[in-house]
């Protein structure tokens, strides 16, 4: 039942967005009474956290699938960033749920720790690209920049301001700003 409730929640958030994730609606779509989720998830935050964990697992799997261990660290950061922005665009509702402050702050089901694995990967790669810098600070600034691109692109603000039809040049500029200019291809 627990797994079914989470699966239904994932389907619902992907189809209708994070605002659709009421206990009653998840229960209805799972074909159970509206009180059934409480037997498996003591609070709404617990169920939402379980759904968000699935989002982090999916994002981590996409990053792992796109990662090329033999590539240089800067190229791997660029790949990670593209996957992140693609995920934010293609799984909008899940992306919003994953980064809800109340869920991350609550620490339910180890969600905070789950969310930090991707940041640790980014920090490790940044340390290899910028050995003299504080990798946590640079990775944090880059992540904030990526999150801002994802949000502002979704809202249409960046398309309006830049006249662009693709966020790729913004991503390239963010990478250059935080990691230094890319070396020209030989």
Residue 38 confidence (pLDDT): 87
Any residues with CB less than 8 A from the CB of 139 and at least 6 apart, and which?
A: 119, 122, 123, 126
Tell me the DSSP string of 25-80.
HHHHHHTS-TTHHHHH-SSHHHHHHHHHHHHHHHHHHHHHHH--TTS-HHHHHHHH
74 and 179 in contact (C-beta within 8 Å)? yes
At residue 131, the 3 state secondary structure works out as coil
Spans of the chain below 50 pLDDT: none
């Amino acid at each position: 039942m627990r797994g079914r409730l989470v699966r239904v929640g994932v389907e619902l958030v992907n189809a209708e967005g994070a605002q659709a994730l009421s206990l009653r609606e998840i229960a209805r779509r799972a074909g159970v009474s509206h009180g059934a989720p409480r037997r498996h998830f003591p609070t709404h935050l617990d169920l939402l956290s379980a759904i968000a964990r699935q989002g982090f697992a999916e994002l981590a799997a996409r990053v792992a699938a796109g990662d090329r261990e033999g590539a240089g660290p800067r190229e791997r950061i660029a790949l990670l960033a593209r996957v992140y922005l693609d995920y934010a665009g293609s799984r909008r509702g899940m992306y919003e749920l994953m980064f809800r402050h109340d869920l991350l702050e609550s620490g339910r089901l180890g969600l905070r720790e789950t969310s930090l694995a991707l940041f640790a990967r980014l920090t490790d790669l940044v340390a290899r690209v910028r050995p003299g810098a504080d990798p946590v600070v640079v990775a944090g600034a880059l992540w904030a920049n990526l999150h801002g691109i994802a949000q502002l692109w979704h809202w249409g603000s960046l398309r309006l301001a830049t006249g662009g039809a693709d966020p790729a040049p913004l991503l390239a500029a963010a990478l250059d700003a935080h990691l230094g200019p890319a070396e020209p291809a030989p």
